[in-house]
Chain A
Amino acid sequence: MITRLRQRRGDPALTALALLTLGLYILFIIVPVIMSGWKSFTDENPLLAQTRFIGLANYREMTHDSTLAASLGFTLGLAAVVTLLANAAGIGFAILLNQTSLSFRVMRMLAFLPQVISGVIVGFVWRYILAEDGILNHLLTALGIIAQPISWLGTPDLAMFSVGLVATWVLTGFTTVVHLAALQSIPVEMYQAAKVDGASRWQQFRWITLRMLAPGTTISVTISLITMLKLYDIIAALTSGGPAFATQSTALYIINLAFTDDRFGYASAVAMLLLAVSAVVALSVTGLLRRREVDL
């Protein structure tokens, strides 16, 4: 990239920017990943001065770590379900909001709002809503839908559902905006031509909208998956990974290993595993969706 930039005469600012970006990327992404990779072969404890190289011991331990298996299972399941729901909802909202009037512009902004709010704040707000004595239970009781409060965060299954609900709510803001941008790039002439050819609204949606949305969907699904695979803040504030670790994501487990159990080495190994899983999932899904784009 830099060589190509240098080849363009009169762009010192661009070169400087590229160097700065590259430097920051190396400093804050590449170097920490390499350091984490190195630490994963050690027994590093943040409180102890001495660190030993222990080869693959941490990776061997992962094969029989039931807590890791549970957290990884929860994280992958959550990522799959939330990505699916958030993108389906995002397409729906994008179609509904694909208008130009002021009121729709305001609604678009509101749709994006959950994405802008800090995950910690989202977690605390929803914790208040979903509490035993929270707004949701009060509402459902007032409407006569339930007689007794539901323990949204107190039973493992419902707590997992609640985390999924909140994550979907947050992510839908992002998927809506991405799909809306993709929708607005579809030439109106295509719909006009389809109408002339006698295409129904469903046929227009099936053969024009969905096909033209495909590149946006690829981006949206990939980023949604990556976001969910590293989910930490919402869960930390909403359930702290409970009850009884039922909603402990792998990212939360890594933090607990490092700063509660003092096991930097093992936490780094789990982090490398999460990186590998995220890379495999993201690359596989991107590959599949890109092929779909071509097929469409």
Chain B
Amino acid sequence: MRHNRLLTACLAAGLALTAAGCSAASPGAASGSVTLTYLTFETPDLTASFWKNSIDNAEAKVPGLTIKDIVSPNTDRDAYAKQLQASGQFPDLLQSITPSTFAQAGLLKPYPQDWVNANFLDPMGNANKGKVYIPPTNSQIIPMVFYNKQLFARAGISGTPKTWAEFTADCAKLKAAGITPIELGGGDSFAAAMPLTGVLSVDVLGKDPNWLRERYAGKVHFTDSNVEAAVAKYRTMVANGYFEPGALSVSYADSIKDFTSGKAAMYMMGSWFLGSIPKAGAADYGSFLTPADDGSVVVPYAVGGSMAISASTPSPDKATAFAESWSLNPANLKTLIEGDGAFPLIKGKTLQDYGVDVSQVYQDSYTYVLQNNTKVSAIGWVTNDDAMPSGLNDDFYAAAQALFNSNDVAGQMAKLDSEWTTATQ
């Protein structure tokens, strides 16, 4: 008898715990109020207080809405969103995820196209199959080549290289002057792949902007001669010692410190690095684009944005209203511009409208976005129809690391083709 009571008590407690664990954000009973979940992530610039303030401001514009934020344990929002989906806890709103994979699975709700067209400079910049799942609030150039003006001058270099030949000649001059030409935080695979991203985006996508879509269709391959020739350029940079020999032991964080403390003359990184340039010495830095052979200007470009909306949110109207309010708030963009080097894309607004304090190198870099030039998808970074299949980014980064220690360009490209086939099966 006593056993039965004990068992009953245990079961009751277990059921109570289970019920408590299963209770998620849900619409309010009769009041019309609703609580929605919002996946966010924190960085040194996007702090907890940033998220709190930005959520409070947007929440205030949507009566009856309460937002419960879920902070991703790291900056890999996609992986965490997948874990939440797998455990039946897919958030109602998801900040800065890669929408293509989720949209294909029917998990996201597109934004009203009229609203997107009315508010953004590049309304289809991150569209998937003609629909916009993340408001295109801002963009990045990935990578830019940042350079230290003093180190360039010390090596006798005046001006910035316009062609690939001039670029490699400058690298040789810097090396001859005892200066490490290019800083590389190769310990973090995405950073290791930056030079390769630059070269491929300019040489391959610069000549054929539809290359990635053609790769999906099987019309082009990584083993094509033009791709291998571009990758061989990167391999030559490694072989010529234009990166420090132990670059794959340098973390991304250390690479920023190394470059900003004058240990190397150039740094190929996404334009978010603009937010890490010390304000006091910002005048010592400049930027240019990965040069093409013929000197043409090609911008490896990725349109980012704010948040995606779950297709199964219990309150699509309130979720959309919150997301629209958050996305158009200049205060949120201000933080992204100053801290993350984001290039804003909201219609009818100038940098002054955001109240930002940005350096000259930021303004010079931003002109590449505003100019009418050749913009191509930054390979491995875009979230539109040119996004690579799930998992292939890691293989691409790994190829860049492998080519640091191996000459086998053809082998690495064949491996990428094989991985692409597996990923798209």
Contact = CB atoms under 8 A, between A and B. Distances in A.
Interface of A: 12, 15-16, 19-20, 45-49, 127, 130-134, 148-156, 240, 242-245, 256-257, 259-262, 264
Contacts of B405: 155-156, 243-244
Interface of B: 2-3, 6-7, 10, 78-79, 82-83, 85-86, 101-102, 104-107, 186-189, 192, 244-251, 254, 258, 390-391, 394, 398-399, 401-402, 404-405, 423
Given A47-B105, A133-B254, A243-B186, A153 B248 contact: yes
Contacts of A48: 105
Contacts of A134: 249
Contact of A260 (B187, B247, B391): B391
B327 to A, nearest CB: 24
A153 B394 contact: no
24 contacts: A16-B7, A20-B10, A46-B82, A46-B85, A46-B86, A48-B105, A127-B251, A130-B249, A131-B249, A132-B249, A149-B246, A153-B249, A154-B248, A154-B250, A155-B248, A242-B189, A244-B399, A244-B402, A260-B390, A260-B391, A261-B423, A262-B82, A262-B101, A264-B86
A47 B187 contact: no
Contact of A154 (B7, B186, B394): B186
B71 to A, nearest CB: 17
A49 B102 CA distance: 12
Contacts of A152: 249
A262 B422 CA distance: 12
Contacts of B423: 261
A240 B249 CA distance: 12
Contacts of A240: 188-189
Nearest to A15: B3
Nearest to B399: A244
A167 to B, nearest CB: 18
Nearest to A153: B249
A16 B6 contact: yes
Contact of B6 (A12, A45, A149): A12
Nearest to A20: B10
Contacts of B402: 243-244
Nearest to B423: A261
Given A261-B391, A262-B101, 16 more contacts: A20-B10, A46-B83, A49-B106, A132-B249, A132-B254, A133-B258, A149-B249, A151-B245, A151-B249, A152-B249, A154-B246, A242-B401, A244-B398, A256-B394, A259-B79, A259-B83
